[in-house]
């Protein structure tokens, strides 16, 4: 085999290796938080922070019922239409308003669970979000859900690494993630 041939083969090998590297999943976790239930969102943040501890890059997408969980109770925005005002009032305004998916019992169950969590030293949803921010967990809020429910960017929590995006952004992240979860 002559040198020319070897070089050509080396080039082919290099380009196929590059193509392969592009296909290899990164050590990343991509999650969709569709649910707005307190327990499910809490579990999501437990997994997210655990994943960072395991050395993973984590990205969370909040969509549909998950969207209002990230609203900031202290922020008020005006200029909404009737539907927007209605959704704004009826949907939870932040972590303080979210309920358990089961055994809520008119709010009693959720209150009991919160006090039990405190007693058992389980971090609250607020604490878990603060931890996620500290750990560098990236969060995207679904623009389509926001538009549907009449939410503006201004009414979401202050969170380093908070972005607003659509399905393509999620898929791009999910495509090269080792783990993808839908909650």
Partner 1 sequence: MSDDIQVTKVFDLKGLACPMPVVKVSKGIKEVEVGQVIEAQTTDPGSLSDFPAWAKTSGNEIVKTEQEDKLIKFYIKRLV
Alpha-carbon Rg for the chain, nearest whole angstrom, is 21
Closer residue to partner 1, CB minimum distance, 7 or 134: 134
State how beta strands 26-33 and 57-62 pair: parallel
Which of 12, 14, 26, 50 contacts partner 1 by CB under 8 A? Answer: 50
Calpha distance 80→174 (Å, rounded): 33
Closer residue to partner 1, CB minimum distance, 27 or 76: 27
Calpha distance 80→89 (Å, rounded): 11
Which span sits near partner 1 by CB under 8 A: 33-41, 44-52, 74-82, 84-92?
A: 44-52
The helices-and-strands tally (H runs, E runs) of the chain is 7, 5
User: Considering the rule CB under 8 A, would residue 53 count as an interface residue with partner 1?
Assistant: yes
Please, which of residues 132-151 interact with partner 1 by CB under 8 A? 135
Please, which of residues 96-125 interact with partner 1 by CB under 8 A? 120-123
The footprint of partner 1 on this chain (CB under 8 A) covers a number of residues equal to 14
Which of 6, 10, 13, 54 contacts partner 1 by CB under 8 A? Answer: 54
Angle at 49 between CA 60 and CA 142, to 5 degrees: 10
Q: CB within 8 A of 2, min separation 6: which ones?
A: none
Which of 49, 67, 110, 145 contacts partner 1 by CB under 8 A? Answer: 49
């Amino acid at each position: 085999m002559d040198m020319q041939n070897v070089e050509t083969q080396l080039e082919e090998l290099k380009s196929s290796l590059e193509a392969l590297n592009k296909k290899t999943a990164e050590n990343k976790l991509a999650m969709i938080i569709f649910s707005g239930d307190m327990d499910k969102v809490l579990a999501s943040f437990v997994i997210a922070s655990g994943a960072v501890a395991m050395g993973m890059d984590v990205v969370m997408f909040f969509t549909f019922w998950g969207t209002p969980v990230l609203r900031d109770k202290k922020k008020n925005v005006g200029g909404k239409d009737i539907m927007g005002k209605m959704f704004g009032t009826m949907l939870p305004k932040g972590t303080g308003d979210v309920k358990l998916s089961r055994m809520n019992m008119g709010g009693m169950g959720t209150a009991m669970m919160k006090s039990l969590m405190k007693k058992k030293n389980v971090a609250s949803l607020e604490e878990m979000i603060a931890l996620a921010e500290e750990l560098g967990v990236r969060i995207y809020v679904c623009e389509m859900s926001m538009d549907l429910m009449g939410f503006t960017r201004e009414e979401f929590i202050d969170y380093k690494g908070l972005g607003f995006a659509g399905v393509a952004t999620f898929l791009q992240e999910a495509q090269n993630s080792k783990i993808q979860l839908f909650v």
